[in-house]
Chain A
Amino acid sequence: SQTIHQWPATLVQPVGSPLSLECTVEGTSNPNLYWYRQAAGRGLQLLFYSVGIGQISSEVPQNLSASRPQDRQFILSSKKLLLSDSGFYLCAWSYGGEQPQHFGDGTRLSIL
């Protein structure tokens, strides 16, 4: 069966510090991968998606970036965090664009 892992589960970082969140998927090959942010009391905002190694599409301009160094690994990064980067970050995978997405348990990021 397929599983998706995100870590860390919780992270507290100072403003201006770097960020690296990791997501890995097991039990499938060549999945579509997604990063979402869920701000407090708000819906999901798609940040990045990837249909293959090294292929990243960005949905919104921001100080975040994403990379896919391996088929089942998706990394969300920032060189300098802003207060507005606080939120709940979710990684997801799917077999294809129209297929249901399967979400990780999320990372709660607090910026101080």
Chain B
Amino acid sequence: GNSVTQMEGPVTLSEEAFLTINCTYTATGYPSLFWYVQYPGEGLQLLLKATKADDKGSNKGFEATYRKETTSFHLEKGSVQVSDSAVYFCALYNNNDMRFGAGTRLTVKP
């Protein structure tokens, strides 16, 4: 079946630090992959997506590359800001099935 596994949090970083949140998936075929972000008290917002192998999704300084050989879609940002503090969800869509990871809480301290 389809599943998503992302690194457990919480993750605490200082401002301007490098961020990596790992995400791996299990799926048959060629799923579409997504990262969503949830700010406190709000719903989820799409951050970026990739629909085929080697695609790189990017938005607001965040990047993730669809790696089929390692079944991964790790989220990275070169220099985080306090405003990036949120919960980040990795997700996949495959064969009429949408799956979300458990979420990783990121706190960025000034």
Interface residues of A (CB under 8 A from B): 6, 34, 42-44, 46, 90, 92, 97-98, 100-106
Name which of B11-19, B20-28, B40-48, B72-80 contacts chain A.
B40-48
| B32 contacts A43, C-beta separation under 8 Å | no
- A28 and B46 alpha carbons, distance in the complex (Å): 18
A6 CA to B44 CA, complexed, in Å: 13
| Interfacial residues, chain B to chain A (CB-CB below 8 A) | 32, 34, 36, 41-46, 49, 51, 89, 93, 96, 98, 100-103
30 A/B residue pairs, CB under 8 Å, sorted by A: A6-B43, A34-B98, A42-B102, A43-B89, A43-B101, A43-B102, A43-B103, A44-B44, A44-B89, A44-B100, A44-B103, A46-B98, A90-B44, A92-B43, A97-B96, A97-B98, A98-B32, A98-B93, A100-B34, A100-B49, A101-B44, A101-B98, A102-B46, A103-B36, A103-B43, A103-B44, A103-B45, A105-B42, A106-B41, A106-B43
Query: In the complex the two chains form, what is the Cα distance from A92 to B44 in whole Å?
Result: 9
Q: How far is the CA of A2 from the CA of B14 in the complex (A)?
A: 36
Q: How far does the Cβ of A106 sit from chain B's closest Cβ, in whole Å?
A: 5
Asked if A106 meets B34 with Cβ closer than 8 Å, knowing A43-B101, A43-B102, A101-B98, the reply is no
